[in-house]
Structure 1
């Protein structure tokens, strides 16, 4: 079955979604962007129709799904518009930069009866998914503590970071909303929602911006204590998530493309390969999952409610960093 999909936003992530949906062989695609030059380039490169305005794109035809890759502060308005036109939605992370419009999204999803999900791509990393299934098996007992250490050289991966949404919190910029949100959502997927946190954040190194590029968070997810350490200037591109349970530990190492188990009484870690052929492979899997969701099939995609919870984490971390106070997340 082929689905008509509109990609809103032709920046780096929008272009990635476009080519990955094309690779599924299950979608007829169109794109939309307010930047005429960028729109023309991407439309021509992938030989798909292009529209400058979301309203015009939606009026031009019926879409099964809309993938929203515009700056985060525009996500919910576009999502509501798409749902009212009868399309399902896949919203890039973070869900938004504000909590205020979440109820409007919930109402639009309910009224449309369409599939809605949020593109937290860690749900499709094989090592993270395998670790989650292992934890759910319960052989190590209940989780007690999680530690996350992550970082990369952001300018290598986003050379134009000074010219895009990243420069301002209001548009979804800074390390908390851009990078920490990925691992926070993954940890909540593994051990449950965050209820309390305290955050220190600072601009340490990235040139040409003032938003934070370094974050340290101490959090409580129910009975589980969690710590995050992340920066966007270090040379190695690495992420490690460790979950320590009553009877052993489990670990994901993205840079080693593996997950590992250390049971109480073992002499060392047992490693399990979890290779990712190339980064687009995760987004192809995510695209297939969205198309499956449109067809009523179960998927591993982040739900709207899971993304709302992570939005609350983002906002609490920003407020804690600003005020120096611990924050409770309702």
Structure 2
């Protein structure tokens, strides 16, 4: 079988630490082209991977040398580049959030339908072993009806790991559009939708932007969410957790509590109402800290759906549903009212 020829657009931290190493590990992939507006950076990374460097994404997409691209750029370019690539007949893996507005997201979905190519959004929390096991337990009725949840994704912020530090696009409103809620909150809205297997109906949120003394994007948020069936819970997304990263989720059910990624040894702990506890060691979640899972599973899933001509495992529609919760939370914070989703 011929290898899938891949180009990566944007050579920042997410490309260097996730996409490129995982593409290189996949036997069905050949990395042929890289693009970044920073000429020094793209030449340096391209040399490491034996790829051709570009500074204009249009030239890479139009080169005829790639079958698929990863879009690892600032948020404001996700829709523009993804649509251009799809229109040129390329498969697209786009980092989350898929877009910065509903209109952009819908345009991406329409471009995918016209092109007949695959569009996948990089929501990697669906591929974490503990999350997949929890979804299985919930679906088979192991913990009964779900009453509530609590989920958190917080760390010290992109300044600690972005290639540009405090000068990163994450802190620039005109490039990020959405800050911590787009970086971390959308991970958790997608995870909750995946675990609970239902949609959210309402959100009330406090979203602040003064945890950092640099940048002008949101950096600290707490949301209260309600699903269509009436499950209620909280979601926190923050760049203000200056100690250890928190990427935990707790699901409160009729028969048991699921504790996900809360314990350093056991990635899933099930506490039953009869006092029994079951501990699962399922490998560590991917993290910006040392010791995290080596592969997110996203790249392998993307390449698999291309090779086998299967549906995208995280479609544009799924990405839009998860983004819609974030957009509603931002609206709630602005209006000081509960927002419908």
Do these two structures clear the TM 0.5 threshold for a shared fold by scoring above it? yes
Q: In structure 2, what is the equivalent of residue 217 of structure 1?
A: 223
Q: In structure 2, what is the equivalent of residue 184 of structure 1?
A: 189
- Name stretches of at least 5 consecutive residues in structure 1 with no aligned partner: none
Q: In structure 2, what is the equivalent of residue 266 of structure 1?
A: 275
Question: Would the aligned equivalents of 2:120 and 2:312 in 1 still touch at CA under 8 Å?
Answer: no
Question: Would the aligned equivalents of 1:14 and 1:69 in 2 still touch at CA under 8 Å?
Answer: yes
Question: Would the aligned equivalents of 1:161 and 1:167 in 2 still touch at CA under 8 Å?
Answer: no
Q: In structure 2, what is the equivalent of residue 101 of structure 1?
A: 104
What is the CA–CA distance in structure 1 between the aligned matches of 2:172 and 2:160, rounded to whole Å? 20
Question: Would the aligned equivalents of 1:197 and 1:218 in 2 still touch at CA under 8 Å?
Answer: yes
1:55–1:159: structure 2 CA closer, same or farther, 3 Å change rule?
A: closer
1:297–1:142: structure 2 CA closer, same or farther, 3 Å change rule?
A: farther
Q: In structure 2, what is the equivalent of residue 4 of structure 1?
A: 5
> What pairs with 1:42-81 in structure 2 (closer than 5 Å)?
42-81=45-84
1:82–1:279: structure 2 CA closer, same or farther, 3 Å change rule?
A: farther
Q: Compare 291-300 and 142-151 and name the one that shifted more.
A: 291-300
What is the CA–CA distance in structure 1 between the aligned matches of 2:186 and 2:174, rounded to whole Å? 15
What is the CA–CA distance in structure 2 between the aligned matches of 1:238 and 1:37, rounded to whole Å? 34
Residue by residue over 1:89-135, the C-alpha shift from the partner in whole angstroms, topping out at 9 and shown as x without a partner, is: 11100011111123322222112111111001111211111111221
> What pairs with 1:1-330 in structure 2 (closer than 5 Å)?
1=1, 2-16=3-17, 17-29=19-31, 30-154=33-157, 155-158=159-162, 160-172=164-176, 173-191=178-196, 192-222=198-228, 223-234=230-241, 235-253=243-261, 256=264, 258-267=267-276, 269-276=277-284, 278-279=291-292, 281-283=294-296, 285-296=297-308, 301-329=313-341
What is the CA–CA distance in structure 2 between the aligned matches of 1:27 and 1:36, rounded to whole Å? 25
Q: Compare 80-89 and 2-11 and name the one that shifted more.
A: 80-89
- Name stretches of at least 5 consecutive residues in structure 2 with no aligned partner: none
What is the CA–CA distance in structure 2 between the aligned matches of 1:293 and 1:325, rounded to whole Å? 41
1:115–1:321: structure 2 CA closer, same or farther, 3 Å change rule?
A: same
1:4–1:254: structure 2 CA closer, same or farther, 3 Å change rule?
A: farther
What is the CA–CA distance in structure 2 between the aligned matches of 1:159 and 1:42, rounded to whole Å? 12
Residue by residue over 1:178-209, the C-alpha shift from the partner in whole angstroms, topping out at 9 and shown as x without a partner, is: 11111111111111222110110223432322
Q: Compare 180-189 and 203-212 and name the one that shifted more.
A: 203-212
Question: Would the aligned equivalents of 1:290 and 1:299 in 2 still touch at CA under 8 Å?
Answer: no
Question: Would the aligned equivalents of 2:5 and 2:30 in 1 still touch at CA under 8 Å?
Answer: yes
What is the CA–CA distance in structure 1 between the aligned matches of 2:146 and 2:132, rounded to whole Å? 16
1:150–1:13: structure 2 CA closer, same or farther, 3 Å change rule?
A: closer
Following TM superposition, by how much is the alpha carbon of 1:229 offset from its aligned partner in structure 2, in angstroms?
2.6
1:143–1:298: structure 2 CA closer, same or farther, 3 Å change rule?
A: farther
TM-score in terms of structure 1 length? 0.92
Question: Would the aligned equivalents of 1:289 and 1:299 in 2 still touch at CA under 8 Å?
Answer: no
SS of equivalent to 1:90: strand
What is the CA–CA distance in structure 2 between the aligned matches of 1:301 and 1:68, rounded to whole Å? 17
Following TM superposition, by how much is the alpha carbon of 1:264 offset from its aligned partner in structure 2, in angstroms?
2.0
Q: Compare 155-164 and 41-50 and name the one that shifted more.
A: 155-164
TM-score in terms of structure 2 length? 0.89
